[in-house]
Amino acid sequence: MVMGMVVGTVVSTRKEDELQGLKFLLVKACDADGKPTGSTVVAVDAVGAGVGEVVLYASGSSARQTKVTKDRPVDATIMAIVDQVEVDGARRYNKE
Amino acid sequence: MVMGMVVGTVVSTRKEDELQGLKFLLVKACDADGKPTGSTVVAVDAVGAGVGEVVLYASGSSARQTKVTKDRPVDATIMAIVDQVEVDGARRYNKE
Amino acid sequence: MVMGMVVGTVVSTRKEDELQGLKFLLVKACDADGKPTGSTVVAVDAVGAGVGEVVLYASGSSARQTKVTKDRPVDATIMAIVDQVEVDGARRYNKE
Amino acid sequence: MVMGMVVGTVVSTRKEDELQGLKFLLVKACDADGKPTGSTVVAVDAVGAGVGEVVLYASGSSARQTKVTKDRPVDATIMAIVDQVEVDGARRYNKE
Amino acid sequence: MVMGMVVGTVVSTRKEDELQGLKFLLVKACDADGKPTGSTVVAVDAVGAGVGEVVLYASGSSARQTKVTKDRPVDATIMAIVDQVEVDGARRYNKE
């Protein structure tokens, strides 16, 4: 998975039927401190994530292995909200 | 998924049988403002997208999870036409 | 899919059994004008493509969805020969 | 697979059900000497790896082919702990 | 597939059970002349490749489509040893 920060939302009316009801979030890859650094993807939310939260998202066929995304044409899904990141024994990110 | 702008069309007469009847669009990855910035892919259209529209496309096996692309040798499919993008509470892209 | 130009051929005698009889082409990703710009892959030919032609190739599991590559250990397959590319209403590439 | 060094841990309370009980490690791609050089992923641990160890991780659907990750929404799994790396006949990395 | 040169070997004692008995080779992506240029992966050997040889390796689920790697958690497999590469009609690489 990749660690990223939810930075925004994407709204679409006209879309593939199987995507109805899913929430699309704009996620920017981030470093261990939770600072957005990398590329941006649009991921489906499977855990109730919100803007400003650091999350883990999975890509590819693994993105379809959740209750919310099963058999849907989704290739990026937010799987977890990150509470803490520790690098070399030091706390680098702490939610709240 | 990745957000991109449809910038053109690709025509092919000689192709794998299973691709007959599909529309190939040239899609350039774009930022939250809808400005093309990134790399270009050729995606199959599943939602009636047109040149100039900002869309979401899925890659890999997920690209084959639509009615239009089921069991076809397709690895990138346009899944949605983007209406709005909001980043940190501010509207960044608005269709029309 | 990715648009690329066939720039060469690769010959291999010692290979996985399931690859016997397949033609390996060296394909360089290209821009809308058909000018090689990007990275190079070795793709299996499913449509009779030749050196100098601009093609579309699919990657990943989608590369195994053709008659020629079914159930074979192939991760990149040429699916179509490009005739024309149009960007913003203007012809950018024309075969022949 | 990609060779990487385990540099940290990620803790998440709120996550997809199927991820319960898995250990998330922050892994930074490294060169043949075991020096972190590349991008960072969050991989699930299938072999009891710890911070500071050089490991091999698999991505994509292959990440779900272990007892620990079977049918779980995981796209990166640590598969092996590296003991030795040899390049052109010379030892480049040696665990311990 | 990607063309690469086998530059080394990786030894691992503690690993996922399904990886027992597989040979891990360090492969560096190379250009048409067989000169290493790109990124490095650790691929499983399915054809008896050795250090110094130019090979083709497949990634993703295709890497599991060989007798040696069937149902194993492998995401990169060496599928062929390259004998010759020709670009624009000129021999660029010739084994031995």
pLDDT of the residue at A26:
98
Residue A45 has phi, psi (to 5 degrees) of -90, 125
For residue C77, list chain B residues with Cβ-Cβ distance below 8 A: 73
Burial class (CB in 10 A: 0-12, 13-18, 19+), E18: middle
Instruction: Inspect the interface and report whether the beta carbons of D66 and E18 lie closer than 8 Å.
Output: yes
% helix / strand / coil in chain E, to the nearest 5? 10, 50, 40
pLDDT of the residue at B16:
96
Instruction: Inspect the interface and report whether the beta carbons of C19 and E46 lie closer than 8 Å.
Output: no
For residue A38, pLDDT over 90 is answered with no
Q: Which residues of E touch D (CB under 8 A)?
A: 7-19, 24, 26, 39-43, 51, 59-61, 63-64, 71-76
Q: Which residues of C touch B (CB under 8 A)?
A: 1-3, 31-32, 38, 46-48, 56, 58-63, 65-67, 77, 79-89, 92
Q: How far is D80 from chain E (nearest CA, A)?
A: 4
pLDDT of the residue at E80:
98
Per residue in B73-85, pLDDT (tens digit) is 999 999 999 999 9
Chains that touch C (3 or more CB pairs under 8 A): B, E
Mean pLDDT of E84-93: 96
Residue ranges covered by each domain of chain C: 2-9+23-94
pLDDT of the residue at D42:
98
Residue C37 CA to its chain's centroid (Å): 15
Per residue in E27-72, pLDDT (tens digit) is 999 999 999 987 999 999 999 999 999 999 999 999 999 999 999 9
A2-10+22-94 has which fold? OB fold (Dihydrolipoamide Acetyltransferase, E2P) (2.40.50)
Q: Which residues of A touch D (CB under 8 A)?
A: 1-3, 31-32, 38, 46-48, 56, 58-63, 65-67, 77, 79-89, 92
Q: Are A55 and A81 in contact (CB under 8 A)?
A: yes
Of the candidates E31, E27, E29, E71, the residue with the CA atom closest to the CA atom of residue E50: E27
E2-11+22-94 has which fold? OB fold (Dihydrolipoamide Acetyltransferase, E2P) (2.40.50)
Mean pLDDT of A18-38: 95
For residue B53, pLDDT over 90 is answered with yes
pLDDT of the residue at E38:
79
Q: Are A30 and A6 in contact (CB under 8 A)?
A: no
For residue E96, pLDDT over 90 is answered with no
To probe the interface with A, which of D24, D42, D45, D65 has the most A CB atoms within 10 Å? D42
| One CATH from 3.30.70.270, 3.40.190.10, 3.40.50.11890, 2.40.50.220 for D2-9+23-94 | 2.40.50.220
Would you place residue A87 in the very low, low, confident or very high pLDDT band (cuts 50, 70, 90)? very high
Of the candidates D21, D58, A18, the residue with the CA atom closest to the CA atom of residue B46: A18
Q: Are strands D36-45 and D76-81 parallel, antiparallel or unpaired?
A: parallel
Question: Is the complex ipTM more than 0.85?
Answer: yes
Would you place residue B38 in the very low, low, confident or very high pLDDT band (cuts 50, 70, 90)? confident
Q: Which residues of A touch B (CB under 8 A)?
A: 7-19, 24, 26, 40-43, 51, 59-61, 63-64, 71-76
The SS3 call for residue A73 is coil
What six digits make up the tokens of C82? 């490009």
Per residue in D28-69, pLDDT (tens digit) is 999 999 999 879 999 999 999 999 999 999 999 999 999 999
For residue D60, list chain A residues with Cβ-Cβ distance below 8 A: 60-62
What six digits make up the tokens of D5? 């060094």
Q: For a pLDDT cut of 90, what percent of chain B falls above it?
A: 93
Would you place residue A77 in the very low, low, confident or very high pLDDT band (cuts 50, 70, 90)? very high
Q: Closest CB to C56: pick one of B17, B42, B71.
A: B42
Quickly list DSSP for D32-82. TTS-EEEEEEEEEESS---TT-EEEEEEGGGGG-STTTTTSS-SEEEEEE-
Per residue in C51-93, pLDDT (tens digit) is 999 999 999 999 999 999 999 999 999 999 999 999 988 999 9
To probe the interface with A, which of B31, B41, B62, B91 has the most A CB atoms within 10 Å? B62
For residue B48, list chain A residues with Cβ-Cβ distance below 8 A: 14
Mean pLDDT of B44-53: 97
pLDDT of the residue at C96:
82
Would you place residue B68 in the very low, low, confident or very high pLDDT band (cuts 50, 70, 90)? very high
Q: Closest CB to D16: pick one of A31, A79, A87.
A: A79
Mean pLDDT of B26-47: 94
What six digits make up the tokens of D38? 């590349």
pLDDT of the residue at B82:
98
For residue B65, list chain C residues with Cβ-Cβ distance below 8 A: none
Amino acid symbol at B6? V
What six digits make up the tokens of E59? 């990634």
Would you place residue E93 in the very low, low, confident or very high pLDDT band (cuts 50, 70, 90)? very high
